Amino acid sequence: MQMSSIFSISGGTKDVYTIMRKRQLGPEVTLMDIHAPQIAKKAKAGQFIIYRLHEQGERIPLTIAGADSTTGAVTIIFQKVGRATSSLGMMEEGGAVLDFAGPLGVPTHIEGVSKAAVVGGGLGCAIAWPVAKALHAQGSEVDMIAGFRDKSLVILEDELRAASSNLHVCTDDGSYGRKGFVTEALDELLENGTKYDKVFAIGPLVMMKYVSRLTEKREIPTLVSMNPIMVDGTGMCGCCRVTVGGEVKFACVDGPDFDGHTVDFDETMRRNATYLPQEREAACRLMDREVPTNA
């Protein structure tokens, strides 16, 4: 297994991971720049960090959406789902998190790709954005396909457009852009003769599953970014295991990118649903909301 460098301590003194910028992308989606200069110097597209708000805090992995080695800013984008992300979302500029470890994971392999389709679904577009940026920066032609349930949930449209040659926005209900799923938009491009060296799919597991099925029929190499339950992020706990090509892999050190044609998506979906009731309950209690009876 490949291990990435982890930076959280500098010169024997604990770093202060200050929130430099906070921007609301939607009702439940937040962008933050965290001051973490050592991580900013090393981070590459596809890698992630793990943060912890306090000593008793949960360890939460988040993809690195961007990094600026000049200012030391590391950009993260997250949705308020459970207690830890809801608590982070309530913090303001000038506040600080206790731990911010990274960069973790293997960078996305973009070498030798001259034309790519980057397919993002919902919050997955925040993870697709740095991949599209890296491809665009190396001179690749990038078709970005971004899918959302409706217009109110569209995020990063200007940023995605700047990082791609062509941007195709889809909404399930047709309230903005093209009506339909990202798989339909990708299928149409392929049917019209568009050729890709590689497809990158990032988003809900079911979306990545069907993108991979579509590209497998056409023998187009496809990378998917896996987001299983994760604890330590260094390959020791085994929680983030996924089955790829019949073998057990760890998303934290072997991934998070894997060959979409060989991933057991159904197994990962079952595992990821394990703690959903507890996540909903914790988030509701934090916000003083009534816990749904089906939580």
CATH of residue 266's domain is: 3.40.50.80
Residues 13 and 88 in one domain: yes
Helix ranges, the chain (H): 37-42, 83-89, 124-137, 157-162, 182-191, 205-217, 265-272, 276-286
DSSP string, 96-109: EESEEEEEESPPP-
CATH number at residue 89: 2.40.30.10
Which residue in 162, 128, 113, 167 sits closest to 145, CA to CA? 167
Answer whether residue 127 is part of any domain.
yes
Answer whether residue 281 is part of any domain.
no
The answer to whether the beta carbons of residues 33 and 21 sit under 8 Å apart is yes
Which residue in 267, 227, 221 sits closest to 244, CA to CA? 267
Residues 121 and 97 in one domain: no
Residues 89 and 141 in one domain: no
Please report the pLDDT score of residue 8 as a whole number.
43
Residues 255 and 229 in one domain: yes
CA distance 195 to 19: 42
The answer to whether the beta carbons of residues 24 and 155 sit under 8 Å apart is no
* Domain of residue 194, residue span: 115-272
Total domains in the fold of the chain: 2
**How would you write the pLDDT of the chain (295 residues) with one tens digit per residue?**
444 444 443 333 467 899 999 999 988 899 999 999 999 999 999 999 999 998 888 899 999 999 999 999 999 999 988 788 889 999 999 999 999 999 999 999 999 999 999 999 999 999 999 999 999 999 999 999 999 999 999 999 999 999 999 999 999 999 999 999 999 999 999 999 999 999 999 999 999 999 999 999 999 999 999 988 888 788 788 888 899 999 999 988 999 999 999 999 999 888 877 666 666 666 566 566 554 554 4
Residues 149 and 180 in one domain: yes
Please report the pLDDT score of residue 13 as a whole number.
45
CA distance 54 to 271: 27
Which residue in 161, 251, 163, 268 sits closest to 209, CA to CA? 268
Residues 190 and 49 in one domain: no
Domain termination site, one of 104, 135, 158? 104
SS3 label, residue 26: coil
Token code pair at residue 99: 């731990």
Neighbours of 218 (CB within 10 A): 13
Answer whether residue 40 is part of any domain.
yes
The answer to whether the beta carbons of residues 250 and 1 sit under 8 Å apart is yes
In one-letter notation, the amino acid at residue 96 is A
Q: What is the pTM of this model?
A: 0.85
Residues 120 and 185 in one domain: yes
